[in-house]
Every structure is written in structure tokens, then in C-alpha cells.
Chain A
Amino acid sequence: MPDNHNGNKLKMKYWYETLAVAQRILIELGRRRRSLVLWSIFPVSILIINALILKERANLTTAKAFESAAPASLVGAALFFSCLGGSVATVVAEREQHTLKRLFISPLSGTSYFLGIFLAHSCIGIGQVLLVYAIAACFGAQFQGSVLLGSAIILLSIISYVGVGFILGTQFARRTEDVNSLVAAFGVPLLILGGAFLPTALFPKSLLELAKYNPIYHMNESLIQVWANGKNFDDISEHFWFLFIFSIAMIAGGWLSYRRMLRVERRL
């Protein structure tokens, strides 16, 4: 019984700490209203531009064009920049303001810190999902496949992005100026190769072979198949498992990176 009690106490500690970190990040974001507005404008504009291109060039109806454009706009544009870019920025801001040192002094666990960042960016991601979905729905788009499967893909995408963001933020970016160059250098080629801005159907065969090693390609393809084409798990299992393994690897990588940063920065 005492073991069980201690276990529950520990779980509650992690939960409260996670909640505290997430709440803090969201309050900080809320204070920067302009950033919040820009985070909303960005996926909406990408969605509309993508949909207009698809409607015109692929001869689709407006509803179908928005159905096809929404997944790529979401995992490519919205979640990439908010969850990956956002978590890099969060870690870098903590390092720049030296507030990380204060957190190291406190009993906050590394797990809670990671989960807090994940939770905060998941909230932002979910907000963007709702926004993109609502706008697509306004133009007649419908979610064709399993909402549960779609949600799982979105969740795995968020986990992967936050994990990569944690690795980049803890290992490669020391200053705010580094964030843009890092996100541009790593992100933009991967986004293009993942089909976020350009349908993968247009890729030459060699590029398509290369894209299969790109997690964004798998996020994008699986979500398009489920959202726009109503495919089920069996049809997208290859993409799903790639994404699943990648997200686990990124959690592990993020955790190890955090431990490494802890060793380096553990001085007042």
C-alpha cells in the first residue's frame, strides 16, 4: 500500500509540474497577442493558397480542394512552425533569460519539463487544427475518414515536432537568432520534400524515394489519405508505423538531449 501511495504522489507531482510549465508557456504566449494573431494567420493563408492552386490546377471542386489542402497546411505549415519552432524558441528563451538555472535549482523533473512543453504546444496545435478544420469546413470540406485515426496522426506529428524541437533547442540553438536559421535550414527543405507546399505526386521518382525517409512526408501522406480520401488504418499502416517509431525516437532523443543540457548548464 505505501508503494502505491508513493506512486500516486509521484504521478501527481509530475502532473502538477507539467501543468505549471504548460500554463506558464501559454500565459507567455497569450501576452504576446501579436504572435498569437500571426500564428493564426499563417496556417489560414497557407490553406487558402494551397486550396486555390489545387482547385485551379487539379480541376477540383472547392470542397475537395480544401479537403486536400487542409492536411498539408496543417502538418506542414501550422504544426511544424508552432510545435517545432515554438519548442525550440521556448527552450532557447529559457536559456537566454537563464530561467532554466532557476528551474534546475527547483524540484522540477526533466520529464515534467518536457511534458509541459509538449502539452503547451499540443494546445497550440489543437487550436490550429480547429482553426484549419473550421475554415476548410466553411468551404464545404468534410473529414472523410476516421476522426480517431486522424487525431492519432496529428498527435504523433505534434510529439515528433516537439521532440525534434527539444533536440534542436537544447543542442544546437543558444540564442534567439539561431532559431530562425535552424528552422529554415532543417525545416524548409524537409517541408518541401514532405509535400507540404507541393503535392508529392509532382515529385520525380528519385525525390519520392528520398521523401520516404522524411517524417513530414509520412505525416502528410497519412493525414491526406485519412482526411481527404477516407482511407483506413490498413491503407496507411506503413506511414503510421514510420511516424510512430519516429515519434518514440524523438521522445528518447529529446530526453537524452535534455539530460545533456542539464549537465552542461548546471552552474549558477
Chain B
Amino acid sequence: MLQIEKLNKSYGNRPVLRDLTLHIQPGQIYGLLGQNGAGKTTTINILCNLLNADSGHITLNGEPVSDSTKPLIGVAPQENLLYKSLSCEENLNFFAQIYGLDRKQRYHQVEQCLKAVNLTDRANSPVETLSGGMQRRLNIAVALVHQPKLVILDEPTTGLDIEARYEIWDLIQQLQSQGITILLTTHFLDEAERLCQRIGILKNGSIVAEGSLEELQKLIPAQEIIVIKTEQEAEVIARAEKYNFIPRRYGSDLAFWLPEPLELKEIILRFDGISIDSIARYPVRLEHIYVEVTK
């Protein structure tokens, strides 16, 4: 569906993308992760033909990206870019018109999109009267109204409460079940874990890790992670190293990668004689991999 090959882009002397390569298969949700300034937005801008790359090429559905591929892409930007005094229906209708849908297609698509984002009963409400979650859903609906092949969701749940996030997640999964290919950028790693079949981690303009969650988990030699709270950190670290537990700091937490799964009593036994306040066990999560590959 989307092939990005050796994409390079600099702003002045500052390189933003360096040989960025990524491939997204049809019907896939691809999570593009990275810190602010990693190059996510620049990638999206080039995809939307708003910026020209310095070198490399992108094909979408076999076609090189140009103005003529714009109708193949639907973008839901981070902010809700909607006309606030217009109703949900009027917003969708306007964008459907811009994308060249005729009256009959517009009527059908507007109705379908409102239904898809569960806003049918608010069709005639002005956008300014909707809650943040509803506006975000409409923002996504606008990206869908012209039936694009690829939908780009740029941080779709930023700034939403947990209920609204669940609604957006359901919507994204529903879109995927309809065969829509999705490129998702997010800062919420749990969101990427939950939704994406493939994840690319971007650092300084190039992909530093890519794969399914299972494939990414193999990048660090840990079967499980434990977090230990103790006054005797130096002793704990020394003891852990004896058992090949690899120490890591996650914020103020002192954590260890366990090379193989152990029963809790076995873990406690390893630290026998050291005063420990608590031990918590966690599976290897995307956040651990992310921290490792981006540090």
C-alpha cells in the first residue's frame, strides 16, 4: 500500500529525515512512534505532498506521491481542524464536496461517516457545542468522508479522557475491520501496543526498530521485568548482576531485566539478606523497548 524508500529531508543544514524506509501493507495499522522532532510530522507532510523530499521516493498504491494521490489519503491532524460554527453534517458535506463527491455520493458518505463515528444524533449540532471526544471523532470522520485508501491518524487520542480514548480505539479497530490501512502516530505506547500490527520507532529521522510487538520484544534480552524498591540499591544491583539481571532506570524506578522467567519466591531468594521494600513484576512492554532503542 505505502512504500517509503530512503527518504531524506533537511531544513537548512539540519537533517530531519535520513534514509527513512518503511512499508505498510494493505489493511494494516502501522504505528509510527518517536519523540517530538523525530521526523513524524515531516514524514506525514511529505506523504500529503505538502513538502518535497530532498531525495528518496514514496509510492502509494503503486503511484508516486503527487497532487493526484491526495484523494487516496485521509488525514486526521492532531488538532481538530473543523469549522466550529458549522454542524457535523455541514463540515462533512463541505469536505466531501472539496474531494469531488457528487450529491448522491455525499449524502451516502456523510450518513455513513456520522454512523461510523457514532454522531448521527448530533448531525445538526454545531461543532462548537460538541465535547472534545466528539470533535475528535468528527475530525476522524472528515478524514474518511472521501473513502481514502490510507488514513493517517496523527496522535488521535492526545488530550482526551480515558472514556473518549476507548471510543477512538474502538473506532480505529472498526476502520481496520473494513479494510482501511492506517498510519497512526502516537505518544501513547499502550495505544500502539493495543492497536498496531506493525510498529516503527523513529529516531533522528530514521527507523531504529521495526516489527510486530512480538518481534520488537526480541530486541531486548528480557523475559520479564522487575522493579525493586529498596534503601540498599547498590547491594541490590551488585547481587542482580551476579544472576545476569540487567539493571535499568525507568524514571526513579530501579528495574532489572530477567533473562528467563522466575517464580516470585526464586526472585526473592536471589536477594536474600538485602532489605527490600517491594518487588513488582511486569511483562516486557513496548515502553521498555522504546526507551532502549531511543536512548
A-side residues, CB < 8 A to B, are 13, 16-17, 19-20, 23-24, 27-28, 31-32, 97-99, 101-108, 266-268
- For A24, list chain B residues within 8 Å (CB): 83, 86, 90, 94
B77 at the interface (CB under 8 A from A): yes
Could you show 21 A-B contacts with beta carbons less than 8 Å apart? Answer: A17-B97, A19-B97, A20-B94, A20-B97, A24-B83, A24-B86, A28-B83, A97-B81, A101-B77, A101-B81, A104-B48, A105-B75, A105-B77, A107-B67, A107-B70, A266-B51, A267-B41, A267-B45, A267-B50, A268-B45, A268-B48
Known: A101-B77, A106-B70. A31 touches B86 (CB 8 A): yes
B82-100 interface with A by 8 A CB criterion? 82-86, 90, 94-95, 97-100
- For A27, list chain B residues within 8 Å (CB): 86, 90
B142 at the interface (CB under 8 A from A): yes
B62-111 interface with A by 8 A CB criterion? 67, 70-71, 73, 75, 77-79, 81-86, 90, 94-95, 97-100
Write the chain A residue with the least CB distance to B75.
Answer: A105
Give the complex CA separation of A103 and B75 in angstroms: 11
Give the complex CA separation of A98 and B75 in angstroms: 14
- For A13, list chain B residues within 8 Å (CB): 100
Contact residue among B44, B81, B90 (Cβ-Cβ distance under 8 Å from A98): B81
- For A99, list chain B residues within 8 Å (CB): 81-83
Give the complex CA separation of A107 and B96 in angstroms: 11
Q: How large is the interface on B (under 10, 10 to 19, 20 to 34, 35 or more residues)?
A: 20 to 34
Q: Is the interface of A mostly helix, strand, loop or mixed?
A: helix
Task: Establish whether residues B142 and A107, one from each chain, have CB atoms under 8 Å apart when the complex forms.
Answer: no
Give the complex CA separation of A268 and B95 in angstroms: 18
Task: Establish whether residues B77 and A16, one from each chain, have CB atoms under 8 Å apart when the complex forms.
Answer: no
Task: Establish whether residues A16 and B81, one from each chain, have CB atoms under 8 Å apart when the complex forms.
Answer: no
Write the chain B residue with the least CB distance to A31.
Answer: B85
Write the chain A residue with the least CB distance to B68.
Answer: A107
B126 at the interface (CB under 8 A from A): yes
Write the chain A residue with the least CB distance to B40.
Answer: A268
Known: A13-B100, A28-B83, A97-B81. A102 touches B41 (CB 8 A): no
